[in-house]
Amino acid sequence: MSALRRMVHEVHTIEIGTNTRYEQHQLVVGQEQALALFADPALASVRLHVAAPGDRVRIVAPLDVVEPRSKGPGGGVFPGWMAPVNRPRGGDTHVLRGAAVLAAGHLPRNQEGLIDMSGPAADRSPFARTNNVVIEFDRADGASWQEAEVAVRRGLLRLAVHLADAAVEASPDVMEELAPPHHPGTPTGGLPRVGVITNLQTQGAFKDVFVYGHSMAGSLPTLFDPIEIEDGAVVSGQYGHPALRNPTYLHQNHPVIAELRARNGQDLCFAGVVLCPEPVEQAAKELVSTHAAWLCRAAGFDAVIVTKEGAGNADNDLMLKVDALEADGLTAVALYAELSGADGTGPPLVAGPRRGAIISTGNYDQRIKLPAVERAIGGSQLRIADADATAAVEIPTAAILSALSPLGAGWLTCRPEQQLAGQQLGETT
């Protein structure tokens, strides 16, 4: 199997200019060049903004987020969208680390969320730590929302490649070698083989995730090459539950894969990745869960971390998988957010496994007060708070983009009240 080398170019500052360029950790986004990438009959107009960490800026109704990446003039990232799937795998991928491109605004099933670039919400979203290029858009008369969504998604991917293209000639800050997963049947040195199952939401228009350009809906679980996920084989078109959303950026930088790689050869062998749909019918949920557990066993996994996207429906998928894995003798851990009410006293889970273990990514219902900001992008109103978009508001954690990340990108958890006595914020387990 091929290996991948990440050529990491750090982005420390960002601004809008005439021509796109990258030098000395500064990314300049060429205004006309960027907007031209969104030329599409479904879009009437497009506007470009930037927002940096620490800015008193609120991004309202964020949609997908993408990390700028490029494989150079020959292309190769976002297979199925921007490149053929049957191109050579691996090689070098240039990464603008610390930058992200995203769209913000109304879509029919975009549950309204936000990113605050400063303040308490900024501590909770991974996208308050990136220098963000934000696209606002207006749908063209006569175009459907579906057509507008496809146009925005394609535009974001083009823009992500366009920005990273600017760094291809620069010498990288870091080069990171990503080896293929540990091959079954080869010696482990006594270390356990640990893999990951990632469930992709598959609930139709605006609630779908694409693998090589196709919805995962209707598929059986499949073993998947993690370097293809790095190169953008998984693209999100899913706009439900902001805090429980897995934007494309988080697939490109899959947190569980990253943590497994970080400990590979020390405490464990990174055994591989299984992608799985989240069907809506019970029988299909049972089918994919049973099959995913079999696949993990057949691939020689000893333990599996299981991730999801979305809320209640997706919780059942986690439950069925963990129970199926543990019944097959594998050790399983699932990542769940809690729905225990604003005061945290209700039962935490709608549907949880009967065995295995659970990581808590925080409480969906816990409320948080956000100070006023100077500027809003994506909308002039914050409907969830019935307030002006720049106002001081109180919102549930559920509205902060990826704050409860089911892929494990967030820093929230919950603990019983009595265990908190004497502990300080920021203390680890």
Residue 328's identity, in one-letter code, is: D
User: Which residue, 83 or 299, is less far from another protein as judged by CB?
Assistant: 299
Q: Using CB under 8 A, which of 55, 67, 225, 302 touches another protein?
A: 302
Q: Does 336 help bind another protein (rule: CB under 8 A)?
A: yes
Among 133, 303, 376, 400, binds another protein (CB under 8 A): 303
The one segment of 65-73, 85-93, 157-165, 300-308 that binds another protein by CB under 8 A: 300-308
Total residues binding another protein (CB under 8 A): 82
Name which of 105 and 410 has its Cβ closer to another protein: 410
Q: How many residues does the chain have?
A: 429
Nearest Cα neighbor of 106 from 76, 70, 71, 137 is 137
| Whether 6 contacts 93, CB under 8 Å | yes
For 202-233, give one letter per residue: b (16+ CB within 10 A) or e. Answer: bbeebbbbbbbeebbbebebeebbbbbbbbbb
**Contact between residue 46 and residue 57 where contact means Cβ atoms under 8 Å apart:** no
Helix (H, G, I), strand (E, B) or coil at 42: coil
Q: Which stretch binds another protein (CB under 8 A): 45-53, 174-182, 209-217, 363-371?
A: 363-371
Instruction: Based on the shown chain and the rule CB under 8 A, indicate whether residue 349 belongs to the binding site for another protein.
Output: yes
**Shortest CB 45 distance to another protein, Å:** 26
The HSE-up count of residue 80 (CA atoms within 13 Å, CB side) is: 17
Q: Does 178 bind another protein (CB under 8 A)?
A: no
Q: Does 147 bind another protein (CB under 8 A)?
A: no
Residues 396-425 that bind another protein (CB under 8 A): 396-398, 405, 407-418, 420, 425
* Least distance in angstroms from the C-beta of 184 to another protein: 17
List the strands of the sheet with 207-211, edge to edge: 214-215, 207-211, 234-238
For another protein, the binding residues in 195-254 under the rule CB under 8 A are: 203-207, 240-241
According to the binding rule CB under 8 A, does residue 327 interact with another protein?
Answer: no
Rank residues 105 and 255 by Cβ distance to another protein and give the closer one. Answer: 255
Side chain identity at 83, as an amino acid letter?
A
* Rounded CA separation 222/216 (Å): 10
Nearer to another protein, 117 or 311 (CB): 311
